[in-house]
Chains A and B, each alone.
Chain A
């Protein structure tokens, strides 16, 4: 979906901040709604067709996390949600697992926010075609006997925007090249992603996918679409704690 056609819901208790980003999105041609807390926002989600929610986390009456849980649990449609956090309000492991599709910390640049929302509105098929947009200096390589064993043994789990993987590689948060081999499936997936969280003690990490090679893109999209929990990057309870 094009940004100019989108309806954006801004949720923040800071009036000045609401005014500023309302202005930013209106300049892009979006329809903009604003709410000062999660409860108001929930009402707007129910009474409007919202494409993307840009929400603060700490707010009076209803915070961003409760608001997100409410959306994911009960609404007939699921607008994309991104968080703009003030100060370590929620860890990335937990946020992405809850279905948050992007996280930014204040202060944010207008261009960064616009491009993040644009990405959120882009379909996976289109998004994951953008090859080599990153210049990683690290490689996340893993080899599995088969996809089925990797999934059943909990070594790999797909969410709608990425995956959690068991890996003892010593990587840092940030962009990585991907090389995932599945012997029995005779597939070697290459692409790029961004390590969003690390749970070193559990040897687990959460990776957002940014591109996948042409041969495997549809396969991976199928796998990510199979996640019915709407988790963006799945996270076990223990790694959620560790990733905070």
Chain B
């Protein structure tokens, strides 16, 4: 069977299903639409797995309307399916399927609108992962953004509005930058196919247009991926979005931004020395800073969804650093990490959503001890929190290990401790919140201010909410070993995607070799776990003592960090401009060096 003609389906089918859901929403019972969404996304997930398997031998190019390179100037749009892209798509569709199970009966009042939006969201993300055309990637980027805005703000509650507005403003600026970047790339090369642009740029060497294009598109991807200093929108958006939407945001949307950055670095700008040295010289440290800022902000949160959102910032920082190494080992590491983190974080957001549904709160003090009688949920939550803290077994653990090995391989040994800090702070924060909520232990400070509370529809089947959470947590635990080799093979193709000459048929495809595993780093996982537990215990039982006696300088700097994060939309935009200026300066310095 030729799978080539199946390539558009992962995008086309959810779009059609979205239209169908809207069309029949008044004719059929709600359950049918729920089931349709679950089944469609599950089927797409299976199909993407099959595509990933076939593409492991050789990436497959599909030209829409058969406007391929054979017909003179290249005007057509192509999807090039490699196993990393198809694998990520399979994960995306799978997570959507589980989320649809999770929201069974949730959104009765908005009828099928939620399902239609989510199905389009799924199609947009898959298109983003598979496309091989710069303008097309912008279109998916933008579709993804607009749907995300609608999903964040549609509840129109007090707390939701501002977060949704700021999220929309910041991300729209990102889209415009991306648009301008695509324009500059076209101005420099007269092409939009990624491989063709890459080839032409490599022949032209570094020039203003190419570097400018990278700065603009890179900034756009970093805004989506919430790297420091573009991350301010993320906690607001996650905190105000309904929890199933947060599941998707943290689990796949934010990491998918990094996926786009990876494509840019690996295909489009791989031939420009200034960009390559910029990635290594600036983006790796930027990732490290993101990891630390996110971690320490997570420690300060008591609103569970904000806590998890900051932890996403931190883990995205680790992924950004690994990705910017632009090596096969680095790519294997962040692919695994992305997968594992997606599962764990999605599970944790589902747990938060269940608490909001049955106990009408996601604040750890508000919920103090109130979830004692929910042992299964507690088990799921704590296992996920420990995975977040660096537990070395499972996909996320292997990912962290692989990232550390990859960093050592290129002489960036300092990245190891950064990963430990990231895991320990975010995991520590999650464990601390869990102990308060599920066990009712720990200090309970007086006179704290509470955030506006939100509740979610509670009369849903408890088992259907619990099941996806458990599936995700267990999948993360048992998936580590089987996925590790696959991730390395996928990473080899991801970093060495077929060049334009291969895609246009002038050259035969030569599969890149799959490197052997780099060992080491397992004890870092245990170390991170230990530190996380110490942090959690310290915050639970000795917070006051530590604050006044031992750690007051650290406390002051964390306070400063908090003030920095209390910015309004104008400040967030100012930071965005500063980040853009930083990248520009970086690329100027990198070109001069060369």
Q: Do these two chains really belong together in a complex?
A: no
Residues of A within 8 A of B (CB): none
